[in-house]
Chain A
């Protein structure tokens, strides 16, 4: 499609403005993490790495990071197993209520976090009698992490069809061998993409976490929220936020690469 010069300039202008609105504030966070002025006046006065060295030694931040990683890994693990199984069940078998089940699996990602949070909080404490702790966060995160794994896997399964597995069985491979040599290799990149997205979702979740985390535990986002308005912690918060920006960009970038290529040219 060809567009006139004026249109092109206008479109690029709009694109630039849109991206600036999203990314300029993030840039400010990155700059402030090395801004020597504790009140973060603008423009930054002097450059310093003091906040970074203080953050590295900050016990609360490190503990929160560790909690976040554990919760994220556990929720991702659960999501990978259950999401894949659900995708197989819904893609490969026809059964009564199949469409409803599909909707029910996807719904949690659309539900407002505050609703999920309150509901799970109630269910854990009053109905099931489970004390809030890391486990309850893991379960809560898994409810929406499953969705991204499920979506990635079912999209891949749709594209593959069942033919490759039939071909494998036809050539003498039993079900286990077929899964090992054909199905799993074809799913690998979809699983990795789904897993990375699931981890990223869990890692920055705050609303549901607030309602399901046990007393005395903090995930990284919650630590940030709690420390944001304490004057002497504020510079460290900027550093943590800067780290989070980088850490969450990488998995999303990788996930996009993985779900984009590999199998796209591969449907033979």
Chain B
């Protein structure tokens, strides 16, 4: 890697330099810690985020994901540990010295400037000539389909439009990494789903590394190349959406990403045949009303009584109290007559799933 000590944020890197840096991960965190007084918000995070990746940091509020994001942006300085961007240690640099941009949760658009001036802001403070910055700002507004709104004030825009202006304002600088702090949190469900698709599309078009903070597991699963699940200031698991969902590393991940469906103690010993805590996704379980049919090779089964049936339109959720102890949720597509599904309430059933769908997880919190 060629050392880049220039403090200015080069708008366009010489091609060779960028190629040289591509070997490095876009973001590398090492033993990152942040304490606010007696409270440790982030406790030893190691993470590599590759160039061009859509990377999500998922976790409940207070899990440290936003603090990590703020340390990458430079709004918080780490108590210890390092933040590297493309191989360069930026741990102690100010936000304006880092080649990253942020889309804030509440957008933080400048209310006294119109949309165009907001989008031009980053280029303006970097002294890009007026004509050029206008052209690039309009291009960025076109990317988010807001070119007709250039003259409006932020207060004249809807939530979704503000969100897209914030995105354009960040993207126009062509940052190495774009940080997004729960950017869809303030939008209603329909708009949020539309923006999820749009964000992902924009990310593919511009090829910039996205680091996306969210507490919504559906959002993380649908958008990300990889997900880091945060809990208590540390990372519980890093992996692709499939890995994180199908093979959660801990009871916490199993519960946070999807529904917690755990077998432990004597129930696990009796049903699975081994000690430990086992997780089974509710939609992997089949319900059989015929108790007599023996389990086939490669399948696990358990008998129990249905304690409740919840009709949710596209799916039906059953709570089953196992004879071996413990309780499992089962989610089935609503494929047959709904009345048949509801009639199962209170009856005895047999639950069946493939052996590999129940897997051991670490206890954790």
Contacts and interface: CB of A to CB of B under 8 A. Distances in A.
B236 interface: no
A99 interface: no
A173 interface: yes
Interface string A151-177: 000000000000110111111111001
B317 interface: no
Contacts of A263: 111
A132 B180 CA distance: 60
B110 A164 contact: yes
Contacts of B122: 171-172
Contacts of A171: 96, 101, 121-122, 125, 169-170, 173
A266 B121 contact: no
A180 to B, nearest CB: 10
Nearest to B125: A173
Nearest to A166: B75
A181 B96 CA distance: 15
Contact of A185 (B75, B109, B112, B121): B112
Interface in A225-268: 263, 265-268
Contacts of B170: 170-171
Given A167-B102, A268-B155, A172 B125 contact: yes
Contacts of B126: 172
Contact of B112 (A172, A177, A266): A266
Contacts of A265: 111, 155
A216 B100 CA distance: 64
B108 interface: yes
Nearest to A189: B112
Contacts of A174: 94, 96
24 contacts: A163-B104, A163-B108, A164-B110, A167-B108, A167-B109, A167-B110, A168-B121, A168-B125, A169-B74, A169-B75, A170-B96, A170-B170, A171-B101, A171-B170, A171-B173, A172-B9, A172-B125, A173-B96, A181-B125, A266-B112, A268-B107, A268-B111, A268-B154, A268-B162
Given A164-B110, A173-B96, A174-B96, 4 more contacts: A163-B104, A169-B74, A172-B173, A185-B112
Interface of B: 9, 73-75, 94-96, 100-102, 104, 106-112, 121-122, 124-126, 154-155, 162, 169-170, 173
Interface of A: 163-164, 166-174, 177, 181-182, 185-186, 263, 265-268
